[in-house]
Amino acid sequence: MKVASTITSFLGRSPLVAAVLYLAAVGLFVVTAALGILNITDHIRGLQQTSEELEQLRSREGRTPPVQAGEAEADPFLEGPTLTVASAALQQWVNAAIVGVGGAVQSSQVDITTGGKDGIVSLLINFELDQPALQKLLFNLETGSPLLFIDQIDVQTPQSGLASDDRAGLLRVSLDLSGRWRGAK
């Protein structure tokens, strides 16, 4: 009680100090309230920005690429009246895919003996191409039709000093893939 009475008697004798302390306390409360309001408006702006980004993502999610003719009814099986014709079609399709991304086919070999009774056709193909084209080729092979399985891939980088200038930077790839033939219809 002694401290409270001392403060009261001091402020009673000096009204100017009391007024300055009162204005300082009111100013402190006003500044605190203003900072709180600014903080809230900053959070609201951040929330609005995040909501706009979410709406953009949701609008992209709903869009699907246009379906090309025949793609809606794409057959996951290799086409052909016989296993031999289906394996030749697979070989042509993969060769065209490699050349289409800028690669050069070195050799290819079709194997229908290992899975011929089950309708599985294997293709071992060796080719050269650059790294970005390899990514595009693998994407095309795995997502395209017919449904193909990459059984094994061996990628070798060029050895420095041994490759000529036009072949420098090309990867040597050995790809073993397989597909399934439905059988005679």
Q: Are 182 and 119 in contact (CB under 8 A)?
A: yes
Q: Are 119 and 131 in contact (CB under 8 A)?
A: no
Beta partners for residue 180, in sequence order: 120
Enter the tokens of residue 135: 């990514």
Q: How far apart are CA 89 and CA 142, in angstroms?
A: 17
Q: Are 181 and 83 in contact (CB under 8 A)?
A: yes
Beta partners for residue 15, in sequence order: none
Rg for the chain (alpha carbons), in Å? 37
pLDDT tens-place values along the chain, 185 residues long:
688 888 788 777 888 888 888 999 999 999 999 999 999 999 999 999 999 888 888 877 555 454 444 455 567 888 888 888 888 888 999 999 999 999 999 999 998 776 556 778 889 999 999 998 999 999 888 888 788 889 999 999 887 665 555 666 789 999 999 888 887 65
